Structure 1
């Protein structure tokens, strides 16, 4: 792919959470498709490394997606430096696991703030750009948006929230020819997932899912699918593709999950007591440090 003739050639695309993982891979994929990429995240060195791996005039901004003023300033600077934005990928996200009753309230709240409120702030500050360019907003969601799982209440609540937010935004903006899509992802090979597997509570949770649902997918595979969704202005994109089928049965999923959990969780807890994980992955640690909390 040369990136010289596709629909994204010369367009400015914003990716949040772009210092690592899914965000970095999506940024690289959009760059290969000819977009000029603006990277936003908490890790300045990681952002710079991704920027330097991209073709063209890619630039990066260190900003907290939950900070209204900082994000508004960033959006203005992106316009000044690169031009009006045609694509926004709201990818920034955190996760934590463990029993809700024993979860740290501040950590639980932070997952909601970054995943849901951060996505809304991202959309708000870049909507003037997207209206002007008749652009496209892609919200990164999850299988957790469709079927909630025990021991991940904050993550599931936030991803269900961003799905509903994206549906509402699509309806509001359709007459203005601004596209809104949702990317539904399953387990992806990032440091967040690798960190999750170090905690018994999440390792056992994934291990007791049906075999197709517990497979981990390469981040490049996810990025290519999201890049195609951006080019096609898709309303929804799924990795793996079988996730689309869960939409037809989502109403039946909560009682099934409850029944399985009622049977399995007591035995799992006897084998390894459930404990709160804290924020997962290097991205979670960087977020904590960025807010002045100790690393680890």
Structure 2
């Protein structure tokens, strides 16, 4: 049975740019009351001004429990208890595993994994007490198929998938739904300078539409495009020689990503010295 997002209070992290901005746009157009959360409050305010309907901007750093708590409380104070939390914030460093700086590895774990854990831990108990609610996490196809050159990024997405699977077992029957969206490469700043491989890049709006679809009809997992899921299942079954042939054919190798094209993004998002954390 489908539900309408109209009137729901939905909080989105990393929503000032990229996928998060499109998610906020899609949900606002569907009539939801949307909280645009981002570490870059100025950018969040600018995004909120451009969107239709009942939309407001809030500061949130998903790596800080006090900041995340204040964000959720501020959203509830403005509207009502949060019906849906969208864990979207995420960052990515690409390159050979043995050249990755410690700071980049820590940043990805802090945002991509601990940020999701923090969001679930802070939002789910109140939802469980009310007997309803949903947490949607935008993860990555790298949770199933780990590209070369994205070792730590893929590790965080694998961990997120496992964490959500465990927590949804604990929440079974509580009225709280956990959902995860697993897109392939998306045309955003996060993917700047990366290889595409044989699978076309997704538009941010396609991921946003998948988030809207899983809110309308809650379920645990959506993979974009669907054939990524088939490829992951095949790779798990094949012996190593065939597995590596398959991965070379369908998964882009990011070891040789254009670091010059990625410099602006990685300095802002992965170094953590300025700007927002976003997909």
Trace 1:228-267 onto structure 2 (pairs within 5 A). 228-252=213-237, 255=240, 259-260=244-245
Cα distance in 1, alignment partners of residues 190 and 105 from structure 2: 16
Q: Do the aligned partners of 1:43 and 1:286 also contact (CA within 8 Å) in 2?
A: no
Q: Which runs of 4+ in 1 moved over 6 A?
A: 261-264
Compared with structure 1, are the counterparts of its residues 157 and 61 closer, same or farther at alpha carbon in structure 2 (3 Å cutoff)? Answer: same
Moved more, 162-171 or 130-139: 130-139
More helix by share: 1
SS of 2:172's equivalent in the other structure is: helix
Name 1:56's counterpart in structure 2: 53
2:174 is the counterpart of 1:176:
yes
Name 2:40's counterpart in structure 1: 43
Q: Deviations over 1:143-174 (max 9, x none)?
A: 10001121111110011111111111211112
Compared with structure 1, are the counterparts of its residues 232 and 151 closer, same or farther at alpha carbon in structure 2 (3 Å cutoff)? Answer: same
Q: Do the aligned partners of 1:87 and 1:136 also contact (CA within 8 Å) in 2?
A: yes
Name 2:69's counterpart in structure 1: 72
- Rg larger in structure: 1
Cα distance in 1, alignment partners of residues 61 and 172 from structure 2: 29
Shift of 1:88: 0.9
Name 1:23's counterpart in structure 2: 20
Shift of 1:292: 6.3
CA RMSD of aligned residues (A): 3.1
Cα distance in 1, alignment partners of residues 270 and 93 from structure 2: 13
1:137 pairs, out of 122, 132, 135, with 135
Compared with structure 1, are the counterparts of its residues 51 and 6 closer, same or farther at alpha carbon in structure 2 (3 Å cutoff)? Answer: farther
Query: Which structure ranks higher in relative contact order (CA pairs < 8 Å, sequence separation ≥ 6)?
Result: 2
Compared with structure 1, are the counterparts of its residues 276 and 130 closer, same or farther at alpha carbon in structure 2 (3 Å cutoff)? Answer: farther
Q: Deviations over 1:21-40 (max 9, x none)?
A: 11110111111111101111
Cα distance in 1, alignment partners of residues 162 and 217 from structure 2: 21
Cα distance in 2, alignment partners of residues 145 and 218 from structure 1: 19
Name 1:224's counterpart in structure 2: 209
Q: Do the aligned partners of 1:12 and 1:35 also contact (CA within 8 Å) in 2?
A: yes
